[in-house]
A and B are shown apart, each in its own frame.
Chain A
Amino acid sequence: MPKPKFSLLSVDDIKLIHEKALYVLENVGVLVDHEEVIEMLKNAGCTVNGKIVKIPRDLVEWSLKVVPKEITIYDRDGKPYVTIGGGVDESYFRPGSAALYLYDPIKDEKRLPTTRDNVNVILLVNSLNNIKLTCPSFVPRDVPNELIEVAREYVTLKYTNKPLETSGFSEEGVRNIIRMLKIVVGDVSKKPMQVFPACPSPPLKWSHLIAQNIIDLAKEKLPVTVLPMPQMGGTGPATIAGSLVQHHAEALSGIVIAQLVNRGAPVVYGGSQCLIEPLYGTANVATPETMLLYIAYVEIAKYLGLPTEGYIGLSDSRRVDVQAGAETLMGAIIAALKGINICAGPGMLEFESVVSLEKLVIDDEIVGLAYRLARGFDINDETLAVDVIASVKPGGTFLGQRHTAKWVRREYFLTKIFDRMDESRFISRDKPTIIKLARERVEEILKKPVIYELPKDIERDLDKWVQEICGRYGVVLKV
Chain B
Amino acid sequence: MSSQFEALATALSNLEEEKVLETVRSMLNKGIDPKDIINALREGMDKIGKMFEKGEAFIADLVIAADIFKKAVEIIKPHLKVVERGKGRVVIGTVEGDIHDIGKNLVALMLEISGYEIIDLGVDVSADKFAEAIEKYNPDVIGMSALMTTTMLNQKKIIEELKKRGLRNRVKIIVGGAPTTEAWAREIGADAWGSDCFDAVKKVRELLGR
Report A's interface with B, CB cutoff 8 A. Answer: 399-402, 404-405, 408-409, 422-424, 427-428
Docked CA distance A400–B67 (Å): 8
Pick from B64, B67, B149: contact of A428, CB below 8 A.
B149
Pick from B63, B148, B149, B179: contact of A400, CB below 8 A.
B63
Could you mark each residue 37-70 of chain B with 1 if its beta carbon is under 8 Å from any beta carbon of chain A, else 0?
Answer: 0000000000000000000001111011011000
A322 to chain B, nearest CB (A): 26
**How many cross-chain pairs have Cβ atoms below 8 Å apart between A and B?**
31
Q: Which of A402, A409, A424 has the most CB of B within 10 A?
A: A424
Q: Which residue of B lies closest to A414 (CB)?
A: B55
| Cβ contacts under 8 Å, A423 to chain B | 148, 150
State whether A399 touches B150 (Cβ < 8 A): no
A399-B63, A400-B63 known; A408-B58 Cβ under 8 A: yes
Could you mark each residue 96-112 of chain B with 1 if its beta carbon is under 8 Å from any beta carbon of chain A, else 0?
Answer: 00000000000000000
State whether B63 touches A424 (Cβ < 8 A): no
- Nearest 4 CB-CB pairs, A to B? A400-B63, A424-B148, A405-B60, A404-B60
Pick from B15, B149, B150: contact of A405, CB below 8 A.
B15
Pick from B60, B66, B151, B179: contact of A401, CB below 8 A.
B60
| Cβ contacts under 8 Å, B149 to chain A | 424, 427-428
Docked CA distance A422–B151 (Å): 12
Interface of B is mostly: helix
Docked CA distance A213–B63 (Å): 61
Pick from B61, B64, B150: contact of A427, CB below 8 A.
B150
Docked CA distance A222–B149 (Å): 58
A424-B149, A424-B150, A428-B149 known; A405-B61 Cβ under 8 A: yes
| Cβ contacts under 8 Å, B67 to chain A | 400
Docked CA distance A424–B15 (Å): 25
Docked CA distance A423–B149 (Å): 8
Pick from A399, A409, A424: contact of B179, CB below 8 A.
A424
Q: What are 29 A-B residue pairs whose CB atoms fall within 8 Å in the complex?
A: A399-B59, A399-B63, A400-B60, A400-B64, A400-B66, A400-B67, A401-B60, A402-B64, A404-B60, A405-B15, A405-B58, A405-B60, A405-B61, A405-B64, A408-B58, A408-B60, A409-B58, A422-B148, A423-B148, A423-B150, A424-B148, A424-B149, A424-B150, A424-B151, A424-B179, A427-B149, A427-B150, A428-B149, A428-B179
Q: A399-B59, A400-B60, A401-B60 are in contact. List 17 more A-B contacts (CB 8 A).
A: A399-B63, A400-B63, A400-B64, A400-B66, A405-B15, A405-B58, A405-B60, A405-B64, A408-B58, A408-B60, A409-B58, A422-B148, A424-B149, A427-B149, A427-B150, A428-B149, A428-B179
A405-B15, A424-B179 known; A399-B148 Cβ under 8 A: no
Q: Which of A400, A404, A408, A423 has the most CB of B within 10 A?
A: A400
| Cβ contacts under 8 Å, B179 to chain A | 424, 428
| Cβ contacts under 8 Å, B61 to chain A | 405
Docked CA distance A400–B62 (Å): 8
| Cβ contacts under 8 Å, A428 to chain B | 149, 179
Docked CA distance A428–B181 (Å): 14
A28 to chain B, nearest CB (A): 58
| Cβ contacts under 8 Å, A399 to chain B | 59-60, 63
Q: Which residue of B lies closest to A404 (CB)?
A: B60
Q: Which residue of B lies closest to A403 (CB)?
A: B60
